[in-house]
Structure 1
Amino acid sequence: MLKKILALCWFGYSTLALAGFEVVALGVEGGVNSANLTAYLIRADNQTQYLALDAGSLLPGISKGLAQGSFPQVTDAVTGDDQPERYIFRQLIGSYFISHPHLDHVAGLLLVAPQDRKKTIYAAADTVQTLHNHYFNWKVWPNFTDAGNGARLGIYRLQTMRPRQRVTLGFTGLTGVLYPLSHAGTLSSMLLISNENQAFAYFGDTGADALEQSNHLERIWQDLAPLVQQKRLKGMIIETSVSNQVADNALYGHLNPTWLLKELKKLEQLSGGAGSLQDLPVIISHIKPSMKQGAASDVTIRQQLEQGNDLAVKFVFMQQGERQQF
């Protein structure tokens, strides 16, 4: 009997230790195609609601996810009168995090607002102000928030996150800490998501510190390093918008493979040196399509990242609608 009890306790501990995150990619590109703009869903393995990480394309990605079986919990029995797509964005997305207010990160949110239900949008102060002043203003779009000018429809509550302060993210069961990023004059942000003793990092658009003349990424690496050492960082989503063929003066606040690898090298050094990042999942986001004959940006970027990957990280290229566990 004692052996059975110990075995059950060990099984419970192992299950907790292995608990992680589910990620669904609703949009993976960085422009041009309005049906595939940056948006991801994340939830803890022990929770039912997702946190949306940006919202460039929602419905197109949800539709692709349904077609690929990425929402097995959505059945006719639970959706009722709603179409599955509507049920997912209304009932399963519990809250939104918007990294910065560029259109390719918020377009999907604006479009679903008329049929969404009340929930909170989390963002840095500059993003909240831009959403109020330039989107939800009755000129570009009705004011679906509970503050700002004109009639307030009250669907969304815009919650300002202060840098480096932990916030409970609605009813998702997740907490998050916001870190500033520099994006060619626009204030962007990274969200460090936590559930119990596990963490996941989501980066909005960002340039390299050396080009942006900032230390934002350096400060992030300093805080992520202990999580890497303790094997608590389950993965990250970070952009590599263009290939190495794009000159530094034309990056406009984005990363290419060379600069991402340089930045990850800093994290490796802070995390214990060579080999410390081995098998760390790094999901590559925001790839900009080339729109040229015979030139596939994602293929080129993948090749350039793998060629320079002496870090042994696990680069992941999720497709729209795909679901993965981390």
Structure 2
Amino acid sequence: MEIRVLGCSGGIGGLATRTTSLLLDEDVLIDCGTGLSVLSFESLLKINHVFITHSHLDHIALLPLLVDTVGEFRSQPITVHACAETVHILRAHIFNWLVWPDFTAIPDREHPYLRLQVMEVGETIRLGQRLITALPALHSVPAVGYCVSGRGGSLAFSGDTGLCEPLIEALNGISDLRYLLVETAFADAQHDLALAARHMCPSTLRLMLSRLKVQPEVFVTHLKPGMQDVIARELALGFGTLKPALLSNEQRFVLQD
């Protein structure tokens, strides 16, 4: 089992600055931001499941185009998993015939290109030997993170979140947690903005990591473009045993089956 980082930025600005999308093996996505654009048509055809953390555009930007591009060439629909509120938003505001066609009804509702499936916090979906569990998150819209588990351990991805006690509790319950990908969108000078937008900054990440009982390798994602250097300097100071590194495009994490 391998997780490949297709994009991990909090915005755009050049070909290397791509928003959030993680590829699990060849057939599963976690979020569908502009990072998806690096995949070939042949690779896009292999995607069967998409797990969405929340409805903000940087995490769903290429989902409509993905379904439109490959739908007629597939024998089965792409299944999108998300919390109930995100599923509602996708139906009402994206796949609504105004912004984009309703691919849950194309070519007809018995044989759609797209299937939307509600996933509750704490729910686990098994795909072969892979277990994907929805984790709590605290954001400005309803949101979740995800934990991917196999026989070789677990990787947790926070999605977009502020400091979230239920997430900390959930992470402490993952005894085989090897990797934690966690957002830190703002610098400490923007602490009030981060708090209002329910994002993290280095000081809140420091507090979060101090409460973890597990000892994963920590990688920071979703830095706002233009603030990377400032945030990186702040991430280098004052952390304990869990010292975060910056997540990068094309980074790969292997969890053996």
Query: With structure 1 as the length reference, what TM-score do the two structures score?
Result: 0.69
Query: Which residue of structure 2 lines up, in the alignment, with residue 175 of structure 1?
Result: 131
- Confirm or deny: 8 A CA contact 1:51 1:95 kept in the other structure: yes
Q: Any unmatched runs of 5+ in structure 2?
A: none
Partner of 2:151: 196
What is the root-mean-square deviation in Å for CA atoms of aligned residues?
2.4
Report if the CA contact (8 A) 1:242-1:256 is conserved: yes
Change (3 A) 1:226 1:127: closer
Cα distance change of structure 1 residues 322 and 192 upon mapping to structure 2, 3 Å threshold: closer
**Paired residue for 2:220, among 266, 275, 284?**
284
Indicate whether 1:100 and 2:60 are aligned: no
Residue 151 of structure 1 and its aligned partner are, at CA, apart by 6.1
Alpha carbons of structure 1 residues 145 and 122: separation in structure 2 relative to 1, 3 Å? same
TM-superposed CA distance for 1:226, in Å, is 4.1
- Per-residue CA shift, 1:229-265, capped at 9, x if unaligned? xxx1121211100111113245411100110110111
Give percent identity, aligned residues only. Answer: 30
Deviation of residue 166 (structure 1)?
Answer: 1.9
Counterpart residue identity of residue 88, structure 2: Q
Aligned to 1:301: 231
Residue of structure 2 equivalent to 1:241: 185
**SS at 1:307 equivalent:** coil
Q: Within 2, Cα distance between the matches of 1:56 and 1:87? A: 18
Change in 2 beyond 3 A, CA 1:139/1:191? same
CA deviation string 1:15-49 (max 9, x = no partner): xxxxxx52211111112448611111124xxxxx3
- Residue among 109, 113, 126 paired with 1:155: 113
Specify whether residues 58 and 154 from structure 1 end up closer, same or farther in structure 2 by C-alpha distance, changes over 3 A only.
Answer: farther
Q: What SS is found at the alignment partner of 2:231?
A: helix
Q: Which residue of 2 aligns with 1:256?
A: 201
Q: CA deviation at 1:180?
A: 3.0
**Is 2:104–2:113's contact at 8 Å kept on the other side of the alignment?**
yes
SS in 2 for 1:113: helix
Report the count of equivalent residues. Answer: 246
Q: CA 1:140/1:178 → structure 2, altered by over 3 Å: closer, same or farther?
A: same
Structure 1 runs not aligned, ≥5 long:
1-20, 44-48, 63-84, 209-216, 291-296
Query: Could you tell me which amino acid in structure 2 is paired with residue 41 of structure 1?
Result: L
Q: 1:180 to 1:220 in 2, by over 3 A?
A: closer
Larger proportion of helix: 1
Q: 1:305 to 1:250 in 2, by over 3 A?
A: closer
**Quick one: distance in 2 between partners of 1:244 and 1:167?**
37
